[in-house]
Amino acid sequence: MQKFADYNFTGKRVLVRVDFNVPFDKSDSFITDNSRIAKSVPTIQHIASHGGRVVLLSHMGRPKGKVDPKLSLGRIVQTVAALVGKHVNFCDDCIGEKAVEATKKLQNGEILLLENVRFHAEDEGKVKQKEGESDADYQVRKQAMKDAQLAFAAQLAECGDCFVNDAFGAAHRAHASTSFIASYFPNDKMFGLLMEAELEALSHVVEHPQHPLLAIMGGAKVSDKILLIENLLERVDKLIIGGGMTYTFVRAMGGHTGNSLCEEDRLDVARSILEKAKAKGVELLLPVDAVNADKFDPEAQCCSSPVDATPDGWMGLDIGKESRKLFHSKIMESKTILWNGPMGVFEMKPFSEGTFAVAEALADATANGAYTLVGGGDSVAALKVAGCENRVSYVSTGGGAMLEYLEGKKLPGVEAILH
Ligand code: AMP
């Protein structure tokens, strides 16, 4: 592996895997959030200003191996050019003679964006067992797809003389363009600046955190976050659990949860997490009170109650005032804080205050010298609305990748560069 800052890019075609999977508005006419592109701009500008010939490779959406004009990266060329501050060329494929020719025409400092890599099924390499298909036949098809993925990665590799992976958002995928491709550049592969920053932020929390280390987990379901919570219990001093997950824990402890979201089949899991926390000496905190609604609707009637005494017919949709105070004080006494997942149904205004209060508390803790890392689409969106995006230490661009890393899994996109 090479170090990005030390690498000599001059005259080289630098194949950069970026994550330009940007969201479009409901009418599908304009980009609603270009931050994924913006975050890779320093990497692109560094290569271009050091004489490299930048070849950008990305996926967008889920075209499932077919050409779909709505998911063409041609739609974002002008946005990329505006953010980078330079003309950006476009080629309507990412492999083959045309693509390779386009990369060879580049002059030092020029930029080329290749077409959506997922227009080719070999990038993801998904194979599903068909109904009635024998295991043996399925294995044969799986192996054939793996071979095709490697061959596809080799074709992609013809578009560059070296490889930079800057797509943290896709690092948890073992795809041709994120992982297999790196093996074709054994001496010329490296992380880009965004990827370096993401890994550095994670190491602040996982490798060498300052204690007390607090994790705040929110969101809907315990079942989605079991592995994560169990792994975090090995590392953190305190763990706050909020959002819909709260009620499975409350019920496991014998509380009354009314119509709140509760996973009956996960009560044992919640109990074992509570026991594990106790055994490890981790302070596990749940909300103490809640804002309840008589229906799942922004126009619902609201009332407050202790979190373990939701009235019959009502559902808890946000943490209450006492919980906000409690969480604020726990956040302020911590030196390293990780936040993933909203405290309530923050998409509806009456149930957004608890999530915004946590965003504000994180900003206060950061100003107080704590290291704060926020990841996951919902928490990042809440942070932005609360105006706290630039008041925390690091906002991760890759929710899924960050969570898998924190679950203790190896990220294929990272491993392929390291080894
Ligand atoms: P996740 O994708 O697991 O992080 O969950 C995020 C979703 O959890 C958001 O859409 C929230 O609206 C939802 N959520 C948070 N708190 C609650 C709650 N108390 N009841 C139901 N849904 C919730």
DSSP string of 21-32?
---B-TTS-SBS
Clarify whether 377 is annotated catalytic: yes
Of 3.40.50.2300, 3.90.550.10, 3.40.50.1260, 1.20.1250.20, the CATH number of 200-406 is: 3.40.50.1260
Q: State the pLDDT confidence band at 377, using cuts at 50, 70 and 90.
A: confident
Mean pLDDT of the chain: 96
Name the strand (E) or helix (H) holding 193: helix 193-206
pLDDT given at position 204: 93
How far away, in angstroms, is 297 Cα from ligand 1 center? Answer: 14
**Boundaries of every domain in the chain:** 4-191, 200-406
pLDDT given at position 373: 97
Residue 149 pLDDT more than 90? yes
Domain covering 4-191 in this structure, CATH number: 3.40.50.1260
pLDDT digit string, tens, across residues 357-370 = 999 999 999 999 99
How far away, in angstroms, is 304 Cα from ligand 1 center? Answer: 18
Clarify whether 235 is annotated catalytic: no
- The total of other beta-carbon atoms located within 10 Å of residue 62's CB is 11
Quote the DSSP letter at residue 309: B
Residue nearest to atom 21 of ligand 1 (CA): 244
Fold matches, 4-191 and 200-406: yes
Cα–Cα dist 296/105, whole Å: 57
pLDDT given at position 335: 98
Clarify whether 400 is annotated catalytic: yes
Ligand 1 pocket: which of 226, 227, 317 to mutate (most atoms <8 Å of CB)?
317
3-class SS at 337? strand
Cα–Cα dist 346/334, whole Å: 24
Clarify whether 255 is annotated catalytic: no
**What are the φ and ψ backbone dihedral angles of 339, each rounded to 5 degrees?**
-130, 125
pLDDT digit string, tens, across residues 280-322 = 999 999 999 999 999 999 999 999 999 999 999 999 999 999 9
Residue 399 pLDDT more than 90? no
Which one of the listed residues 13, 36, 235, 324 is annotated catalytic? 36
Contact of 112 with 89, CB cutoff 8 Å:
yes
**What is the arithmetic mean of pLDDT over 165-176?**
96
Distant-in-sequence, close-in-space partners of 164: CB < 8 Å, separation ≥ 6: 4, 14, 15, 16, 17, 43, 47, 189, 190, 191, 192
**What are the φ and ψ backbone dihedral angles of 9, each rounded to 5 degrees?**
-85, -10
pLDDT digit string, tens, across residues 248-289 = 999 999 999 999 999 999 999 999 999 999 999 999 999 999
What is the pTM (predicted TM-score) of this model? Answer: 0.92
Which one of the listed residues 141, 377, 384, 408 is annotated catalytic? 377
Instruction: Name all residues whose Cβ lies below 6 A of ligand 1.
Output: 219-221, 224, 243-244, 261, 316-317, 341-342, 344-345, 347, 376, 378
Residue 182 pLDDT more than 90? yes
Residues in the chain: 419
Distant-in-sequence, close-in-space partners of 40: CB < 8 Å, separation ≥ 6: 16, 18, 19, 20, 166, 192, 194
**What is the arithmetic mean of pLDDT over 45-73?**
97
pLDDT given at position 397: 87
- The total of other beta-carbon atoms located within 10 Å of residue 203's CB is 12
Q: Which of 227, 230, 169, 244 is nearest to 395 (CA)?
A: 169
Residue 349 vs residues 41, 231, 297: alpha-carbon distances, Å? 34, 33, 10
Residue 223 pLDDT more than 90? no
Q: Which of 303, 291, 292, 307 is nearest to 241 (CA)?
A: 307
pLDDT digit string, tens, across residues 115-130 = 999 999 999 999 999 9
Beta strand 315-319 with 289-293: parallel, antiparallel or unpaired? Answer: antiparallel
Ligand 1 pocket: which of 246, 292, 378, 379 to mutate (most atoms <8 Å of CB)?
378
pLDDT digit string, tens, across residues 324-343 = 999 999 999 999 999 999 99
